[in-house]
Every structure is written in structure tokens, then in C-alpha cells.
Amino acid sequence: MTPLRSALILLLTAGLVAPSLAAQDPAPPQDPVTDESDITAVIEKGGVAQLRLAFPALVVRPGTSSGAATAIRGFERALRQDLESSGVFAIQGPEELSVLDLTGDRGQDFELYRSLTNETVLLVEGYESDERFVIEGRLYDLASQQSILGKRYRGTFDLSRRVAHTFSDEILLYFTGTRGIALTSIAFTSDRSGHKEIYLMDYDGESVRPLTDHDSISMAPAWAPTGDNIAYVSFFAGPPAIYRVDLATGAKQPIVNDGNLNSSPDFSADGTRIAFTRSLEGNTEIFVANRDGSNLTRLTRSAGIDTNPAFSPNGTKIAFTSSRAGNPHIYIMDTDGTNLQRVTFEGTYNDGAEWSPDGTKIVYATRRGRDFDIAVTDLALLDTQVLTSAVPGSHESPTWSPDGRFLAFSTTLGGKTQIRVMPATGGPARTLTGDGNNMAPDWSAYPPR
């Protein structure tokens, strides 16, 4: 992460529209968020109504080298994918727009885009300057013909995907009031090398990179909310213990490695504490400790299995799995172990709870028949929706995207396990992985700006 971040000094997010154009555009708003206006209302209700966006082919200015042009085309591909996968837009272009007989006159052309029921248009130009590629993107409201968002980005040729993700996140922020997730990443476990190791990939499954090389069993990655390190469980030194890997240096160090079993790490949202499972005389209980493993405190006392703790986003509660009532179910307690409350009652096996970013819901794996499904329970109403009943396979290990709009999880089907992403309300899932078996996804927080 940090090497990428340092490369980002090359990427300059310029202010709004270029001066030459600003003259033609009646003052674009300085802060996009303050001008959400009525467009936001259109896309509420879980993205049922999509914003109709015309996105004609990006224009590469003459005099652009082939290296810069390749970067610009890569940018366009990634941006289209980002906007498409956000689910917020119904996008036309370039193919759907080819039926239009554009005139070159902006007013007339905007009317033509509008004639195909589009509400907005995204016009993007790319060119080269000082061995960097430059992108200028402008969004216009077609009804008023007003410019609503303008951005210029500049970067080395290898940053095309990153520039696209950055722009996409800004567009999403403008239209939804919530920053997009295109710059987030997912930690996961894969056996592609022959051993289970911890890996990292971009939110769309691209740029997979290994984080561990223990040649043992390594599993259960958990992001530190600071985004600079990931806790995980490994057997490489003997019994399962909790370690952390520093993403900038690759350095690994133990967090809790004494005793017979330490597993299932989860950081508090402020990053200062870690909840985990620890075995005492063969019985697993929930513990919390400082992030360096000091100040160990036991929170549960039951003869059953207690495992898989998850801090609530506000840091006051911990959800976990317990078999104290016979079968595994999800319970919630305060972070000092008091105020225990059982929150799942259906199914024979509920496990792996993760809180929604707003703290109102938990998602987990539930066993209703032979296989596992992904279920979401509203904690105020204790109302449960099973999201994957109609999706073939067994589904486990759900994790929320930081905007709360998506869930990543693993699906086992035909003897293979892969990581997929679907809307948090259910619906079609995209498969992100394919090499070996891939599981236990943990979605990062937003990277710092």
C-alpha cells in the first residue's frame, strides 16, 4: 500500500474545470457534495432506480504517444468497469450512442443524449504532458446542460487503473453522498501455492499479491482499520497463533502466540484493541487485548465453543459465535463481557458475524439445509433476510464493503471455493478469484485520502 501511496505523489488531483472551459460552463459547484440536489433521490432505495448515464468513447487528443494512449485506454476500461459494478448507473456508450448523429454543438448533442433517456453525460479527454498521461473528465446534467463535476488527473503510465478508481470514487461521492469503494482492497486466504497463505487483491479481484510465504497453514486475515497491517492466524511455528504483517515492509511479528490456540483476530474500529479466540484447557473463549497482544482480558465463560468475535463499528459491542445453547449461534455482548444477548434463532448453525459499517445489521453464514447461506439480521428488529437461497453452492465468510453497499463472501461449488461479491441486499454475484481455492475475504476500510 505504502509504495503505491508514495507513487501517488505523481498523481495530482487538480481543481475543477480547465480555465478555457470554465468560461463556457456556468460556475461548476466547488464542493460536489453540497449539490446533491434532487438526483440523489432517484437512486435511493437500494439502487433500484439507476441513474441513466451517457458515457461516449473517451477522446484521445492528437500528439499522444502510444505509451500514454495505452494508459488512457486502460483508464477508460477501468472507469467503465468501476461505474458499471457500482450498480448506481445504467450506462449507455459507446456502442448504444453510435446511433446518434452528433453535431459537435454541445447544446444540440446534449439534447441527442437526452433523447435516449439519459439524465447525465460523462465526457472524458486524455492527452500526454511531460511523460505523464492526463485525464480531464466532466459530468453534465442534460436537462439543465449545467456542468456538475469536473476533474483533472495526471499520472505515470502505470497508474491508469488507480486514476480510474480515484475518479470513479469521486463520481460516486457526488451522486450518492458516499465515497465509492474502487480504491479499497480485500485480504483473503488462498491455497494456490499448495499451502494456505494470506493474499491481497484490489476490490475488483485485480492485482493479487501474496502477503505470507510460511509454507504452512495461514488463515483468517483481519485488516487493521489503519490499513497498514493485517492480522492473521498461522501454524508455521506450531499451534495456531496470531501474527501481523506490515504491508509497507512485509515484516511479520506475533501478536498472541503463547498457549495452545489463538485464532479469529478482529481489530476494534479505532485500531487500539484486538478481539480473538483463545483456548483455555481445551475450551475456546473470547478475549480482548491491546493491539500488541498485551493486557489480555477474558470476556466469555461457557463450556461450549466461543469463537469468531467481531467488534461493532462504534467499539462498544462484540458479536461472536457460541455453541452454549447446543448449536452455534450469534451472540452480542458489551466489550467487557456483560449484557449478553442472543441474536440468531433460526437455522442449525450460524457463524462468522460481521457488522454493517453503520452498525445496524450483522451478516453471517447460516445453515438452513445441507449448505450454508449468507444472512443479514437487522439488530433493532431482529428481522433476518437470507440472501443466497437461490444461489447454487455453499456460502460462507461474508464481509461488508466499507460503504455498506456490497458483500464479499466465499462460495464452495463443485469442490472449489471462490470469492464473490454481491449487492448487500442480495442479487447477482461476480466471482473475483479463480486460481486455486480462495476464501475468508476481509474487506479493507477506505484508504486515507
Partner 1 sequence: MIRNRMVLLASLVLLIGAVGCGKKPQTAEAPVIKSVEPTPTDVAPPPAPTVTEDPKAWMNEELAKVTEMANQKGLLGDVYFDFDRFELSADARERLAKNARFMLDEPQFVLTVEGHCDERGTNDYNLALGEKRASAARDYLVSLGVPANRLRTISYGEERPFCSGSSESCWSQNRRAHFMISSRTDG
| Chain contacts with partner 1 (rule: CB under 8 A) | 189, 194, 196, 216-217, 219-220, 233, 235, 238-240, 260-261, 263-264, 277, 279, 281-284, 305-308, 321, 323, 327-328, 349, 351-352, 365, 367, 372, 394, 396-397, 412, 415, 439-440
Closest approach of partner 1 to the CB of residue 396, in Å: 5
Q: Which among 291, 289, 336 has a CA at the least distance from the CA of 317?
A: 336
Q: Which one, 110 or 199, has the nearer CB to partner 1?
A: 199
**Rg of the chain, C-alpha, whole Å:** 24
Closest approach of partner 1 to the CB of residue 436, in Å: 12
Closest approach of partner 1 to the CB of residue 115, in Å: 52
At 279, the amino acid letter reads S
Q: Which one, 5 or 342, has the nearer CB to partner 1?
A: 342
Q: Which one, 109 or 351, has the nearer CB to partner 1?
A: 351
Spatial separation of the C-alpha atoms in residues 111 and 273, rounded to whole Å: 56
Q: Which one, 150 or 441, has the nearer CB to partner 1?
A: 441
Q: Which helix (H) or strand (E) holds 123?
A: strand 120-129
Q: Which long-range contacts (CB under 8 A, 24 or more apart) does 234-243 make?
A: 242/274, 242/276, 242/293
Kindly give the pairing relationship between strand 51-54 and strand 120-129. Answer: parallel
Buried-exposed string 422-448: b where 16+ CB fall within 10 A, e elsewhere: bbbbbeebeebbeebbbbbbbbbbbbe
Closest approach of partner 1 to the CB of residue 408, in Å: 15
Closest approach of partner 1 to the CB of residue 357, in Å: 21
Q: Which one, 131 or 215, has the nearer CB to partner 1?
A: 215
294's grid cell: 498485551
420 CB-contact burial (10 Å; exposed 0-12 / middle 13-18 / buried 19+): buried
Q: Which one, 264 or 356, has the nearer CB to partner 1?
A: 264
Residue 138 Cα distances to 125, 126, 194, 305, angstroms: 9, 12, 47, 55
Closest approach of partner 1 to the CB of residue 364, in Å: 9
Q: Which one, 87 or 436, has the nearer CB to partner 1?
A: 436
Closest approach of partner 1 to the CB of residue 33, in Å: 39
Q: Which one, 157 or 349, has the nearer CB to partner 1?
A: 349
- Cα end-to-end distance, the chain, whole Å: 13
Q: Which long-range contacts (CB under 8 A, 24 or more apart) does 428-433 make?
A: 429/391, 430/85, 431/205, 432/186, 432/201, 432/204, 432/205, 432/408, 433/188, 433/190, 433/201, 433/205, 433/208
**30 alpha carbon, distance to own chain's centre:** 28
Spatial separation of the C-alpha atoms in residues 45 and 294, rounded to whole Å: 45
Closest approach of partner 1 to the CB of residue 269, in Å: 20
Closest approach of partner 1 to the CB of residue 265, in Å: 10
Q: Which one, 284 or 433, has the nearer CB to partner 1?
A: 284
